[in-house]
Amino acid sequence: MPSREPVSGSLDATDARLLLELVANPRATGVELAARLGLSRNTVQARLARWEANGVLASFERRVEPRALGYSLAAFVAVVVDQHQLDAVVAELAEIPEVTEVCGMTGPTDLMVRVVATEAEDLYRITGRILKIPGVERTNMALVMQELVGPRIAPLLDRLAGSNGLAE
C-alpha cells in the first residue's frame, strides 16, 4: 500500500501555475511547459524532479477509471475493527484487488474503505470477504449512486497561483 506520509516542503505560486498547466495538459513536455509559463526549461525540470522526489505527484494509476475496467459499482464500507488488530486488518484489505482506498478515521468508524465491483453480486462477495477478516467487528456500506464532485486539486492550485504564495 502506498505511503500517505505528509509531503515535505511547500509549494509556491510558480509551482501552482506549473501544476495547473500539467492538470490542463498532462502530456506536455518540459519545454512546452517552460514556453507556456515563461520559465526556463531547467526551472521546470528541477521542479518536476523535486516533486517526484518529495511525493508531490500521485501515481499514474489514480488516473485510471475503474469503470473502464468493468467495475461499474462503487461503495464506501465503514469498518469498525479491534484496535489490537488494526495493522493486520489494513494489510488484509490491501490484498483485496477491488479495494481502491483505505482511510483511517476518527469517530465511531475506524476505517473508510472504497471498493469497486462489477455488479451487485460481486459487491456482496467483496463485502463478505471484508467481514471475514479477523479483527473486523462490523461494517456499514453505502453505495455510490453518482460522483458529483470528483477528486480535484485545481481549485487549491488556482488559489495559490493567484495569491503569490500568501495564505488568505
How high is the pLDDT of residue 167? 45
- Environment class of residue 12 by beta-carbon count within 10 Å: exposed (0-12), middle (13-18) or buried (19+)? middle
Q: Could you tell me the pLDDT band of residue 60, with boundaries at 50, 70 and 90?
A: confident
How high is the pLDDT of residue 10? 84
What is the average pLDDT across 2-21?
76
Q: How many residues does the chain have?
A: 168
How high is the pLDDT of residue 17? 94
The predicted-structure confidence for 111-137, as pLDDT tens digits, reads as follows 999 999 999 999 999 999 999 999 999
Q: Which range is least confidently modeled, 34-48, 53-67, 139-153?
A: 53-67
Cα-Cα end-to-end distance for the chain: 35
- 102 and 90 in contact (C-beta within 8 Å)? yes
The predicted-structure confidence for 80-119, as pLDDT tens digits, reads as follows 999 999 999 999 999 999 999 999 999 999 999 999 999 9
C-alpha cell at 58: 500521485
Mean pLDDT of the chain: 90
Contacts for 16-19: CB closer than 8 Å, 24+ residues apart: 16/157, 16/158, 16/160, 16/161, 17/161, 18/44, 18/47, 19/153, 19/157
- Give start and end residues of each alpha helix (H) in the chain: 13-24, 30-37, 41-54, 86-94, 120-131, 154-162
Q: Could you tell me the pLDDT band of residue 57, with boundaries at 50, 70 and 90?
A: confident
- Rounded to whole angstroms, how far apart are CA atoms 97 and 42? 40
